Amino acid sequence: MATDERSPPEMQLETSIRPYNYYRNAVEKHWDPHEIDLEADRDGAAELPDPAFESLKQSLALFGAGEESVTEDLAPLAVVLEDIEDQLFITTQLYEESKHTDFFDRYWREVIHTEEKRRGQELSSPTDEQWFNEPYDELFERNERAMARLLEEDTPENRAKAHCHYHLTIEGILAQTGYYGLTLAYGENEPDLPDLPGLVEGLKLVRSDEGRHVGFGMAKLKDLVMNDEIDPDLLQETVDELVPLVQQSLTGDGGASTESGPGPSPSELSEYAYTKHQQRMQQITSASEAIPDVEQLTELET
Ligand SMILES: [Fe+2]
Ligand SMILES: [Fe+2]
């Protein structure tokens, strides 16, 4: 047999499949939350009227705590996934969720605390109960339970529910929507609020990472649906149960966004979230639609 007709030797890694590609994309797009310049944000924070400063803290507390929760709750998936390429991907996600948590913590230390000192205020804590409402706590408790259940009973239904909680709802709807709203509020196009370019830069990098995470969850769900392991209705039902909690987390008493304040309104954000979610459900459940490639998942609309 001529050399070129031999099949290639088996290798350790399957380098043409999605989870490997996502892992590589994560490595190539590596960023350090401590390298983001926060100098201009300290100036911007000084221009915020009191209510806007409080509402910025509220948003940062909610998203910082959210990143901490998802960092803590992801591990069961790493235990149950069998393929090495999936493991490579999950290590990047765990690392990235840690960096997101670190980014919010650093922002509080270096921007919020600096500004509180300048205003002669007592230094606040991002973990203070005042920032969180009941629907928010409930949402994250349900996510934690959905993930932990994988360790007790690793069934297709439980995997589907875990991905629906974690990837489709918390990351796909809550985080993507909230970050999009904050980016608009503190970006260059909102005349009523000062620019916070370090925050916007960090959020861009976080959102790009989240695009990859959501894509991984979508691909896992699509496999379960296409292999007839779960009823596709389970996905919509699971997400529908959680959506009211997401909305109340962002807009309810102690939520991050108000209809009258500067930046996008809660109804605009809900519409954005709903459209994105419906698109994803189509891509998961319809055989003729594909999950967007990793470049598309991680690129951000302006
Ligand atoms: Fe994250
Ligand atoms: Fe994530």
pLDDT in tens, 54-66: 999 999 999 999 9
| Domain locations along the chain | 35-297
* Stated pTM of the model: 0.93
Inform me whether the pLDDT recorded for 170 exceeds 90: yes
Q: Residue 74 Cα, ligand 2 centroid: separation in angstroms?
A: 9
Q: Residue 93 Cα, ligand 2 centroid: separation in angstroms?
A: 7
Q: Residue 228 Cα, ligand 1 centroid: separation in angstroms?
A: 30
Specify the higher pLDDT residue, 301 or 235. Answer: 235
Nearest CA to 161 out of 87, 100, 242 is that of 242
Inform me whether the pLDDT recorded for 2 exceeds 60: no
Q: Residue 230 Cα, ligand 1 centroid: separation in angstroms?
A: 27
Region 160-170: mean pLDDT is 97
Dihedral angle computed from the Cα positions of residues 157, 162, 167 and 169, in that order, rounded to the nearest 10 degrees: 90
Q: What is the pLDDT of residue 206?
A: 96
> Alpha-carbon distance 114 to 120, whole Å?
10
Q: Residue 180 Cα, ligand 2 centroid: separation in angstroms?
A: 14
Compute the 3-state secondary structure of the chain and give helix, strand, coil in percent, each to the nearest 5: 70, 0, 30
- Residue 67 CA: which ligand is closest? 1
Q: Give the confidence band of 3 by pLDDT, cuts at 50, 70, 90.
A: low
Q: What is the pLDDT of residue 194?
A: 93
Inform me whether the pLDDT recorded for 261 exceeds 70: no
> Alpha-carbon distance 248 to 243, whole Å?
9
**Which phi and psi (to 5°) does residue 83 adopt?**
-75, 145
Q: Give the confidence band of 256 by pLDDT, cuts at 50, 70, 90.
A: low
Inform me whether the pLDDT recorded for 283 exceeds 80: yes
Q: What is the pLDDT of residue 258?
A: 60
Q: Residue 96 Cα, ligand 1 centroid: separation in angstroms?
A: 6
> Alpha-carbon distance 32 to 202, whole Å?
9
- Residue 178 CA: which ligand is closest? 1
- Report the CATH superfamily, name and number, of domain 35-297: Ribonucleotide Reductase, subunit A (1.10.620.20)
pLDDT tens digits for range 205-221: 999 999 999 999 999 99
Q: Residue 6 Cα, ligand 1 centroid: separation in angstroms?
A: 44
Q: What is the pLDDT of residue 211?
A: 93
Burial of 78 (0-12, 13-18, 19+ CB in 10 A): middle
Q: Residue 39 Cα, ligand 1 centroid: separation in angstroms?
A: 24
**Structure tokens belonging to residue 246:** 């997401």
Considering the chain, what is the average pLDDT of its residues?
A: 92
Q: Residue 171 Cα, ligand 2 centroid: separation in angstroms?
A: 6
158 vs 25, 243, 280, CA distance in Å? 28, 19, 20
Inform me whether the pLDDT recorded for 202 exceeds 90: yes
Q: Residue 112 Cα, ligand 2 centroid: separation in angstroms?
A: 24
Average the pLDDT over each of 139-143, 159-163, 190-194, 281-285 and give the range with the smallest value: 190-194
Burial of 122 (0-12, 13-18, 19+ CB in 10 A): exposed
Q: What is the pLDDT of residue 34?
A: 98
Q: Residue 134 Cα, ligand 1 centroid: separation in angstroms?
A: 21
- Residue 206 CA: which ligand is closest? 1
Q: Is 83 helix (H, G, I), strand (E, B) or coil?
A: coil
R_g of the chain computed on alpha carbons: 20
- Residue 100 CA: which ligand is closest? 1
